[in-house]
Homo-oligomer: A and B are copies of this chain.
Amino acid sequence: MSKGTVSRALNNYADISPATRARVAQAAVELGYAPLAHAQAIRTGRARALGLVLQMEQHDAQRPFLAEFLRGITRAASARNWTLTVATAESEEEGLETYERLIAERKADGFILPRTRWHDPRVALLRAAGCPFVLFGRTADAEAEGCAWYDIRGGAAMQDAVRRLQGFGHRRIGFIGAAPEFTYARKRREGLHAALLKAGLPTDDVLFDEGNATSEDGLAAATRLLAGKPAPTALVCATDTLAVGAVRALRMQGLKPGRDVSVIGYDGAPEGRAADPPLTTYAVDQTAAGARLADILIALIDGTDPESLRETAEATLRPGGTDGPAPQSKRT
């Protein structure tokens, strides 16, 4: 059979009989060649799959939102006929190996990187592999150069929390922060600190308690902060998980959240919404975030300039029952 015949058969030319076409196709498969589903995939070798590696050893903060986040990604991906390949890793090292394996096996054409660190080793790895990626959050400026990202302005939410508490008459505001190697934790602390300075409110070191992750950490941090003299009358927390622990610390001391001490969280987690009273918090739309990240990543894979693929969104205040007028201002 001539190369011309094989070519015409594989391209379904009408002058080749169906029987010949079938024989050629069968022979091609037997030789280890299989037709790919999409013309584009043929040209580019693409899997039409986005990759997401979830690192499980990290704190739970991402888990309550995982279903919403996946929903956003897969909805946007399937609208463009892409799919999502999910992997998990038990450690950062295993995570990096997982990216390498998925790239080598062409299981994903690019990656969404959740929970960015300020110095994030995934950036160098994916760059070296020439594999497209989008950051959920940011990294240090130098590392983020040439990167696409989607970021929720957590620092702006913290600034809004300070304005809100100042409006309630609070003067001494404490902060329960998360581990500062994560960009989100760093940005929320910076936002709060800047807002306190701008408002002329105290920024003593003793008002800042960082490196916390679990609700038990939040409880312990709130206990430490409330032991200060003078004690803060309001606590802003980097996550709802920490805030739920802080509310528990108040109750253990016989203090009423929203009356004796105000507590504000961040995330919009179900545990905060279900609490009694519901937590005042800044809620993030995780479905929208997942969808935009998928759209950005597909655009990036399609060759769009990464620096034009940078978006931010705001967290939105969801007032609950854990904040209110400062006790001092009621007394006057």
**Contact residues of A with B, CB < 8 Å?**
1-3, 6-7, 10-11, 27-29, 31-37, 39, 41-42, 45, 48-49, 54, 56, 60, 62-64, 66-67, 70-71, 74-75, 78, 81, 83-88, 90, 98, 101-102, 104-107, 215, 244, 270-271, 274
Which residues of chain B come closer than 8 Å to A78, judged between CB atoms?
A: 87, 98, 101
Q: Which residue of B lies closest to A77 (CB)?
A: B87
Q: Give A7 to B32 CA distance when docked, in angstroms.
A: 9
Q: Top 8 nearest A-B pairs by Cβ distance?
A: A33-B33, A32-B42, A63-B67, A74-B88, A10-B31, A71-B88, A86-B86, A83-B107
Residues of B within 8 A of A45 (CB): 29, 34
How far is A268 from B43 in the complex, measured between Cα atoms in Å?
Answer: 49
Q: State the Cβ distance, A202 to closest chain B Cβ, in Å.
A: 33
Inter-chain contact A105/B37, CB cutoff 8 Å: yes
The minimal Cβ–Cβ distance linking A290 to chain B, given in whole angstroms, is: 10
Q: Is the Cβ of B87 less than 8 Å from the Cβ of A84?
A: yes
Complex Cα–Cα for A105 and B11 (A)? 19
Across-interface contacts of A90 in B (CB, < 8 A): 75
Q: Which of B33, B37, B64 contacts A35 (CB under 8 A)?
A: B33
Q: How many copies does the complex hold?
A: 2
Known: A7-B27, A83-B102, A270-B271. 16 other contacts (CB 8 A): A3-B27, A11-B31, A29-B42, A32-B35, A32-B39, A34-B34, A34-B45, A54-B67, A60-B67, A63-B64, A66-B70, A70-B86, A75-B90, A81-B105, A83-B85, A83-B105
* 19 sample A-B contacts, Cβ–Cβ < 8 Å, listed by A number: A1-B2, A3-B27, A7-B27, A10-B31, A10-B32, A11-B32, A32-B35, A34-B41, A54-B70, A62-B67, A63-B67, A64-B64, A70-B86, A74-B87, A75-B88, A78-B98, A83-B86, A83-B105, A270-B271
Q: Is A83's CB under 8 angstroms from B87's CB? A: yes
Which residues of B are found within 8 Å of A81, using beta-carbon distances? 105
A125 to chain B, nearest CB (A): 17
Q: Name A86's contact: one of B33, B84, B98, B244 (CB within 8 Å).
A: B84
Give complex CA distance A106, B107 in Å: 12
* Interfacial chain B residues near A107, Cβ < 8 Å: 49, 83
- Docked Cα-Cα span, A104 to B38, in Å, equals 11
Residue of B nearest to A251 (CB): B276
Given contacts A31-B11, A274-B271, contact A86 B74 (CB under 8 A): yes
- Docked-complex contact A33 and B37, CB < 8 angstroms: no
Asked if A33 and B28 sit within 8 Å, CB to CB, the answer is yes
From B34, B75, B84, contact of A33 by CB (8 A): B34
